[in-house]
Amino acid sequence: MTTKTERVAASFRDPSGFLFLRGGKLYRQVNLFYRPDYDMLMTSGLYEALIKKKRLVSHIELDLPPEIPKLAYKIIEPERVGFISYPYEWSFNQLKDAALTTLRIMKQALNYGMILKDASAYNIQFSQGRPVLIDTLSFETYREGEPWVAYRQFCQHFLAPLALMRYSDIRLNQLLRVYIDGIPLDLASRLLPWRTRLNVGILSHVHLHANTQQKYAGERIDKIQQRSISKNAMLGLLESLRSTVKKLTCQPAGTEWADYYGDNNYTNAAFNHKQSLVKEWATELKPATVWDLGGNTGAFSQTVAQAGAHSICFDIDPAAVDRNYLDCKVRKEERILPLVLDLTNPSPALGWANQERESLLDRAPANLVMALALVHHMAISNNVSLPQVAEFLSKCGKHLIIEFIPKEDSQVQRLFATRLDIFDQYNRSGFEQAFSQDYKILKSVPIEDSLRILYLMERK
């Protein structure tokens, strides 16, 4: 009997090894090419030190048939990360923490005579509320004198987007969707305001870096005379990057939803009733994974997390997502991952052959989807018909908790302030009819002290 195997599409650049799925389990083949570095990682004490600090995913070595035997040194099974997210879905402080983690790992590796050979933001994932490196094969032996080959990648993947988000516009992390190997530094340099040249770190690592790249574009490095970079100089460079990143702070103000709970027509009774229903249903269903769509600062993600679920809390507003992330950090919340997502244009499949980075739906399904105070935005603001909304949500997960907000509600009336009401089908019976095509309606409860109705549904 053969077990179906499949190479992971994102894992092809590094000849040191690759990821593959076999029988639903994730494995990594370590190639003979990488043997000396792998052995050094495992015997130098660096692996244990990184695991102790929870900065690297752990793995176990297994005696399994390799995927490509002639290249293979070892097969390892890495600890799996719950949900793979991408830097263009992270808020400012998530990207900043991922950057600082990368630098800490690099510094720690240097202490053990190793170095990070890449500094891709895609190698960092959020697991149990913390950024961790998921690529076990990112280390190589440090030879004093040699430069950090991943310096450019670090600046493109982390520093440039952080500086752009801080000094130009918080939404510019979306450039990472277009530029899969990080934001080109000449572009970042052009988009950043002139005053960033007064920031020594950004001047050095972005503006001067971009100028030098341009000056030496196309020149071969081996044509240039040699000079070594001492370990102290390397530590100096890392410290400069660290302090530049650390000093970047961002508090986006005046964004759409971050003040939603303080600025809406909810009464306390309505909010509490809705929360108790969500808690009751989540406790009954015991979902392992929840997608909280339009989850704002995560109030209802907290409710399902308390019921034992891991919740991905998506919101379009980077300020709400950042606030949620920082709150989760303070509470040491390990079950909620806040992410930035525009549901009207969710993350597409990207990269080589459209397979390197998965689309949102490629990462489905969740056990439970929550769409609270959301459907009117999709149906009215974005003119998506209710059957289309139902079809999309049914692809996201099996069970659905959804709130229907009628036209009479003041939040919906706000949407009609500047436009015609062309939505004849947007009413309770139209909603139930539309969702009955894809779902079986299990429960529907009017929310106290409001005009809203909360539904529990199961995909047919």
Partner 1 sequence: MMSHLMIYAPQKFPLYLDPGTGSIIIQAILAAVMGVFIFLGIYRKKVSKFLRGLFKKNKKTEEFEPVDNDDDNED
Catalog residues that contact partner 1 under the rule CB under 8 A.
13-16, 53, 100, 104, 107-108, 111, 117-118, 140, 143, 145-153, 155, 204-205, 208-209, 212-217, 219-222, 224-230, 232-237, 239-240, 242, 246
Q: For partner 1, which is the closer residue by CB, 236 or 446?
A: 236
Distance in angstroms (rounded) separating the CA atoms of residues 252 and 232: 37
Q: Give me the half-sphere count of Cα atoms (radius 13 Å) on the Cβ side of residue 391.
A: 5
Bridge partner list, 369: 291, 400
Residue 367 Cβ vs partner 1, minimum distance, rounded to whole Å: 33
Residue 111 Cβ vs partner 1, minimum distance, rounded to whole Å: 6
Residue 53 Cβ vs partner 1, minimum distance, rounded to whole Å: 7
Residue 440 Cβ vs partner 1, minimum distance, rounded to whole Å: 48
Query: How far is residue 222 from each of residues 179, 218, 219, 233, 339, measured CA to CA in Å?
Result: 28, 12, 9, 21, 43
Q: Give me the half-sphere count of Cα atoms (radius 13 Å) on the Cβ side of residue 425.
A: 14
- The SS3 call for residue 11 is coil
Residue 148 Cβ vs partner 1, minimum distance, rounded to whole Å: 7
Q: For partner 1, which is the closer residue by CB, 117 or 399?
A: 117
Distance in angstroms (rounded) separating the CA atoms of residues 141 and 47: 13
Residue 141 Cβ vs partner 1, minimum distance, rounded to whole Å: 9
- The SS3 call for residue 288 is coil
Residue type at position 115: I
Residue 112 Cβ vs partner 1, minimum distance, rounded to whole Å: 10
Residue 103 Cβ vs partner 1, minimum distance, rounded to whole Å: 8
Q: For partner 1, which is the closer residue by CB, 219 or 408?
A: 219
Q: For partner 1, which is the closer residue by CB, 236 or 348?
A: 236
Residue 281 Cβ vs partner 1, minimum distance, rounded to whole Å: 37
Q: Output the six-digit token pair for 459.
A: 């995909």
Q: For partner 1, which is the closer residue by CB, 56 or 454?
A: 56
Distance in angstroms (rounded) separating the CA atoms of residues 154 and 158: 6
Q: For partner 1, which is the closer residue by CB, 241 or 290?
A: 241
Distance in angstroms (rounded) separating the CA atoms of residues 199 and 295: 36
CB-CB neighbours of 113 under 10 Å: 14
> 3-state SS of 371-422?
ECCCHHHHHHHCCCCHHHHHHHHHHHEEEEEEEECCCCCHHHHHHCCCCCCC
Q: For partner 1, which is the closer residue by CB, 13 or 80?
A: 13
Residue 113 Cβ vs partner 1, minimum distance, rounded to whole Å: 14
Cβ(241)–Cβ(200) below 8 Å: no
Residue 220 Cβ vs partner 1, minimum distance, rounded to whole Å: 7
Region of 22 please: left (phi>0), alpha (psi -120 to 50) or beta. beta
Q: Where would I find the beta strands (DSSP E) of 280-323?
A: 289-293, 310-315
Distance in angstroms (rounded) separating the CA atoms of residues 147 and 154: 13
Residue from 429, 427, 438 nearest 388 by CA: 438
Q: For partner 1, which is the closer residue by CB, 119 or 343?
A: 119
Residue 151 Cβ vs partner 1, minimum distance, rounded to whole Å: 5
Q: For partner 1, which is the closer residue by CB, 83 or 151?
A: 151
Q: Output the six-digit token pair for 194.
A: 């002139």
Cβ(191)–Cβ(166) below 8 Å: no
Q: Output the six-digit token pair for 303.
A: 């409710």
Q: Output the six-digit token pair for 52.
A: 């102790």
Name the CA dihedral angle for 63, 67, 68, 72, rounded to a multiple of 10 degrees.
Answer: -30
Q: For partner 1, which is the closer residue by CB, 4 or 143?
A: 143
Residue from 168, 97, 161 nearest 322 by CA: 97
Q: For partner 1, which is the closer residue by CB, 208 or 441?
A: 208
Q: For partner 1, which is the closer residue by CB, 4 or 227?
A: 227
